[in-house]
């Protein structure tokens, strides 16, 4: 079988920034084992597989190790592929996914994605978490997907070097760390997901579904400029709109070609 493949950097304002994703349009989804093998072959943080459905698209996301229930950056990259390559007259697209219906619209050369907000609740720190992170959080919260560790300041977030093997053993997919920004950005974050085969994700749309409601509750604001301070790094415009989060960013095409498996 042959299909087009696109390598797109999402939430990227410069070459080699943001979070890379592979996007692969398909006529139908093959077996899960094939999708997982393709994602492992692509060797990117996520591969999005798109299948047309009722004028819109069904999307599934895979890392090299597992299927994801929600993936923001690969959805943003998928929207760029649809609106810049597959259907260039479009300015809006809906994706049906395991994480619900996701809308992405094009505005002034950028993409704005609408996703479900994910709240979290305070929780006592698991034994050894401070040693695992290398710092003691000011506040720790949890939902069904992540721990959210609120740290002292931006410098502590940027300087973290956590124990990835210990993080892998936690009872959640990953740990988001965050703090107020020191200058241009309202808040900064990083996201560690070794249990999903990604020691540190570069720029994570789904993590901001938790971060935006958290910071809205602490500040009384509903819109933010955020920065995910990974090695690649990426800037996101963020807004809380009811029980939804809107995340905006740019996408850059890096590579386009054809994948062939038989």
Q: How far apart are CA 122 and CA 104, in angstroms?
A: 31
Q: Which pLDDT value is given to residue 109?
A: 86
262, part of any domain? no
Instruction: Provide the terminal-to-terminal Cα distance of the chain, rounded to the nearest Å.
Output: 5
Among candidate residues 46, 144, 148, the one with its CA nearest the CA of residue 97: 46
Are 72 and 187 in the same domain? no
Segments of the chain scoring below 70 in pLDDT: none
* Residue at 222 is within a domain: yes
Give me the number of domains the chain comprises.
Answer: 2
In three-state secondary structure terms, 13 is coil
Tell whether 234 is covered by a domain: yes
> So what's the pLDDT on residue 197?
83
Helices (H), 18-71: 32-42
The confidence score (pLDDT) of residue 253 equals 97
Q: What pLDDT is recorded for position 1?
A: 85
The span from the CA of 17 to the CA of 19, in Å, is 7
Q: How far apart are CA 224 and CA 138, in angstroms?
A: 21
Which domain range does residue 217 map to?
121-247
Q: What is the pLDDT of residue 135?
A: 96
């Amino acid at each position: 079988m042959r299909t087009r493949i696109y390598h797109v950097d999402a939430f990227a304002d410069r070459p080699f920034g943001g979070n890379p994703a592979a996007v692969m349009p398909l006529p139908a989804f093959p077996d899960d084992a094939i999708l997982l093998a393709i994602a492992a072959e692509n060797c990117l943080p996520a591969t999005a597989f798109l299948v047309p459905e009722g004028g819109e698209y069904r999307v599934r996301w895979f890392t090299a190790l597992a299927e994801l229930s929600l993936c923001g950056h690969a959805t943003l990259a998928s929207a760029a592929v649809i609106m810049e390559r597959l259907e260039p007259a479009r300015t809006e697209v809906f994706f049906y996914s395991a994480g619900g219906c996701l809308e992405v619209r094009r505005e002034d050369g950028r993409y704005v994605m609408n996703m479900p907000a994910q709240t979290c609740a305070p929780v006592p720190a698991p034994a050894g978490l401070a040693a695992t992170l290398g710092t003691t959080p000011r506040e720790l919260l949890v939902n069904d997907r992540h721990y959210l560790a609120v740290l002292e300041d931006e410098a502590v977030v940027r300087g973290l070097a956590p124990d990835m093997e210990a993080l892998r053993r936690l009872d959640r997919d990953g740990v988001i760390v965050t703090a107020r920004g020191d200058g241009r950005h309202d808040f900064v974050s990083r996201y560690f997901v070794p249990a999903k085969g990604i020691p540190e994700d570069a720029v994570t749309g789904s993590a901001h579904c938790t971060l935006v409601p958290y910071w809205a509750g602490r500040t009384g604001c509903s819109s933010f400029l955020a920065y995910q301070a990974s090695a690649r790094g990426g800037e996101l415009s963020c807004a809380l709109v009811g029980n939804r989060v809107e995340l905006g960013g740019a996408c850059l095409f890096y590579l386009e070609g054809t994948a062939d498996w038989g």
